Amino acid sequence: MAGRALRQGMRCGSIHGVVFDAYGTLLNFGVEGMNIAQQAGLTPAEANQVLSCWRQQQVASTWLRNSLDGDHYDPFTKITRDALKFSLLSCGVDIPALEADLMEGFRTASLHEDVLPFLHLISVPKAVLTNGDEAVVSDTLAKRGVEMPVLSASRACSFKPDRAVYQLACEWSSSEASSLVFVSSNAWDAFAASSFGFRVLWVNREATPRVSWPGLEPEWEVPSLVALEGSGNEGGTRTSTAAGGGKGER
C-alpha cells in the first residue's frame, strides 16, 4: 500500500524528500469559487460553467506558452486573471465585481481537509512545486498554517510539464528524481512527473477515469490523502499500465 511504502522509504532513506503540487492538491478553490459565483447571482450550473472554462483556459494558456518559440512567459497570476476574463466573456457573465471577488478567493483558497494530517506524517524535507507565483502561493499557504519552501515555475520562466520545472525540485533537494516523491491531484501533472523520473503519488480526488498510457503510470493512486494517514490497512493502489485524462491545475 502507498502509505506503508512511503513510511518505509522515509525510514530507510530511499526517499529524500516529498514535493507537492499546490492548486487542487493542497489548496481547494473549487467549493469557495462556487460559493462566490453563486453569491454574485449565478445558478449552480452557471457557476460550474464559469469555473470549468476558467480552469481549462488557464492550463491551456500555460501549455501554449510552453510550445511556442521565443519568450512568451507571463506570470501565473496574470495568466489566471486573463483566463478568468475570457471565461466570464465566453459564458456571457457581466457582473463587474465578480472578477475581483473570484481572484481574491483564488489568492486565499483553503486547504483540503486531508492536507495537514498528512503533512504531519512526513519525516523528510518537503516543498511545493507549482506553476503559481511564489509570493502568492507562500502567502496563501502561510495563512493556512503551512510553512515550507515554494518552488515556483517562474524560476524556470516556464510551466509544468516542462522538464525544467520538475528539475527545480532536484536542485532544491540535491537529489535524483528517483529519490523524490511527487504528489499531485492533476492527472497530466502526475503522469508528466512520472515520465521525468519522480516516484509519483496521484491523489485522484475527482475519480478521473484512467486510459491506457504505458510508461507514464504514477507509482501509486489514492482517492485522497486520508487513505495514507493510517498505519494499518490504508488505501491506495499501485498503478499498472493505465493513466488518466488531465484536470487543470488551479
CATH fold match for the domains 2-28+110-244 and 30-107 = no
pLDDT tens-digit map of 37-64: 999 999 999 999 999 999 999 999 999 9
Span 238-249, pLDDT tens digits: 554 333 333 444
Task: For the chain, give every domain's residue range.
Answer: 2-28+110-244, 30-107
The C-alpha atoms of residue 137 and residue 15 are separated, in whole angstroms, by 25
Q: Is 88 left (phi over 0), alpha (psi -120 to 50) or beta?
A: alpha
In the prediction, which pLDDT does 242 show?
37
Name the architecture of domain 30-107: Orthogonal Bundle (1.10)
Active site residues: 21
Does 232 score more than 50 pLDDT?
no
Q: Tell me: domain 2-28+110-244, CATH 3.40.50.1000, correct?
A: yes
Residue 244 is predicted with a pLDDT of 38
Backbone angles phi, psi at 236, to 5 degrees: 110, 140
Instruction: Kindly report the pTM of this predicted structure.
Output: 0.89
